[in-house]
Amino acid sequence: MNGDWLLRGRDGRLSVYFPSGDAVWCRAERAPGGPWGAPRPMGGDQRLYPGFSVGQGANGYGHLVAWRPTVKGESGLVHSTHYRPRLAAMDWQSIGHPSRKGDVTGTPAVAVDAAGRAHVFVRNRGRGVSMVAQKEKGGWDPWRDLKGRLVEDGLAAVTGESGCVEVYAAVPDGIVYWRQEEAGRPPVLQEALEAPVRPGTLAALATSPASTTLYYTDHSGDLCAWRPGGKPHALLPSAGPGPVAAVRCELDGHDCTLLAQRSASGRVAFAAYPTEDERAGAWWSESGPQLPVDATVALTTDEAGRVTAASLSPAGGRLLLARRKDEPGLALEAWSEV
C-alpha cells in the first residue's frame, strides 16, 4: 500500500483501504467515532495486482490507483474515486500504461491538487518517472514523461499547502524531486539531493505554506528529514523498515509532526517534534501489542481533531485502532480491534 490508507472522509467518518486477494477493500465507520462496518470491495468486479496507492484531496474524496492484467504479459493502470466512506466507489477506469504498453513497472503514487484533480506518478520502463493527470472537466490528459534515470520503486507524492503537487524519488546516489510551479502545470525537476537513501523508505508531508518535508532512511539506519532548498537532518534511528507514517497535529497548543512506524520489536513506535524544527530532537515511544510482520501503520486526525493511529495486517485482515486521550501529552487509549 502506498499513500495514506487511513482517511477521514468529508462526512467525518474514518475509512481504511487494504488489499485482499485480487481486489482492494474498504472498511469504514458507520458514524464518526462509532462502530465499523464490514469490508467491501472497491471499484466493481475487476481483478487487480498487489501494490495499489491511495490519495485524498481537500474535498475529502479518496483516489485509488492499481494495476490490472490486460492481455497476456501486459498490464495497465486503473483509477477509482471514492466520494464518501459509506458509499460505493466508482468503477475502475483504465488510465493506460506509462510506456504505452507492457507489464507492471512500479508501484503508483497519487496526489490530488487543490482543484480535486488526481495526479498519478509511476516509474516507467526506462526507470524514469511518468505521470498522468485528470482534466479539470473530466477525462485524463495524455501520459507525460518527467524524465529521470535509475529511479527506484517507491515514489512519494504529496500536495503542498499551496495546492501544487510534488513527487520525490530515490535514485542510486540520492533523491530527485519534481514540483508544479503553478497549479495545472506539469511538475518539473527542481533539484537533486546527494544522500545515501534506502529505497522504499520515502514519505512526504506538507509542513508549511512554502514547504513539504520528505522523510527517508539513510544507509546507516537513521530516519532523516529533508526540505528542498536546505540540508537533510538526521532525526533519530529508524524504528523499523519501510516508510514512516506522518501527520501534523496540535499537541498541547503546539503545531507538531507525529511519526509512527512498526518497530523492530513488532510494536508501534511513535515520535513527535515541533513541525520543521528537527533540531529540537525526537525519540521513539512504543505502544500497543506486537504486530504481524506484514502489518503497516497509518495516522490521521478524526472529526474532533484527535490523533488516530491504525495498524493493519492485510494477510490476516486484522485492524487495530487507537485514539489520543483527552489529556495533555500524547497518551493513547488502549488499542482495540475493529
Residue 318 has pLDDT above 90, yes or no: no
- For β-strands 296-301 and 307-313, DSSP reports them as antiparallel
In this prediction, residues 87-106 reach a mean pLDDT of 94
What CATH number is given to the structural domain containing 22?
2.120.10.70
Shortest CA distance to 285 belongs to which of 249, 233, 329, 225? 329
Do residue 285 and residue 217 come from a single domain? no
pLDDT band at 281 (very low <50, low <70, confident <90, very high): very high
**Rounded to an integer, what distance in angstroms lies between the CA atom of residue 171 and that of residue 230?**
19
Do residue 228 and residue 256 come from a single domain? no
CA neighbours within 13 Å on the CB side: how many for 125?
11
Do residue 260 and residue 233 come from a single domain? no
Cell numbers describing residue 14: 474514518
The pLDDT of residue 191 is 78
Indicate the residue among 214, 245, 276 that finishes a domain: 245
Q: Write out pLDDT tens, residues 48-73.
A: 998 899 999 999 999 999 999 999 99
Do residue 135 and residue 253 come from a single domain? no
The pLDDT of residue 212 is 97
Domain residue limits at 94:
2-245
Shortest CA distance to 212 belongs to which of 229, 198, 199, 195? 229
Q: Report yes or no: 104 and 98 within 8 Å, Cβ to Cβ.
A: no
Residue 328 has pLDDT above 90, yes or no: no
Do residue 101 and residue 220 come from a single domain? yes
Is 0.85 surpassed by the pTM of this model? yes
Do residue 172 and residue 274 come from a single domain? no
The pLDDT of residue 327 is 86
Shortest CA distance to 270 belongs to which of 293, 236, 242, 302? 236
Q: Write out pLDDT tens, residues 208-234.
A: 999 999 999 999 999 999 999 999 999
The pLDDT of residue 157 is 97
Do residue 160 and residue 265 come from a single domain? no
Q: Write out pLDDT tens, residues 128-175.
A: 999 999 998 889 999 999 999 999 999 999 999 999 999 999 999 999
The pLDDT of residue 277 is 97
Rounded to the nearest integer, the mean pLDDT of the chain is 94
In this prediction, residues 195-207 reach a mean pLDDT of 96
What's the domain count of the chain?
A: 2
The pLDDT of residue 82 is 96
The pLDDT of residue 337 is 92
Do residue 238 and residue 250 come from a single domain? no
Q: Write out pLDDT tens, residues 237-259.
A: 999 998 999 999 999 999 999 99
In this prediction, residues 28-49 reach a mean pLDDT of 92
Residue 117 neighbours by CB distance under 10 Å: 19
Do residue 125 and residue 255 come from a single domain? no
Do residue 212 and residue 255 come from a single domain? no
Residue whose entry in the numeric block shows the C-alpha cell 519501510: 242
Residue 315 has pLDDT above 80, yes or no: no
Cell numbers describing residue 317: 485482515
Beta bridge partners of residue 224, listed in sequence order? 216, 234
Residue 317 has pLDDT above 80, yes or no: no
**Rounded to an integer, what distance in angstroms lies between the CA atom of residue 259 and that of residue 201?**
13
Do residue 337 and residue 205 come from a single domain? no
Residue 109 has pLDDT above 90, yes or no: yes
Do residue 202 and residue 282 come from a single domain? no
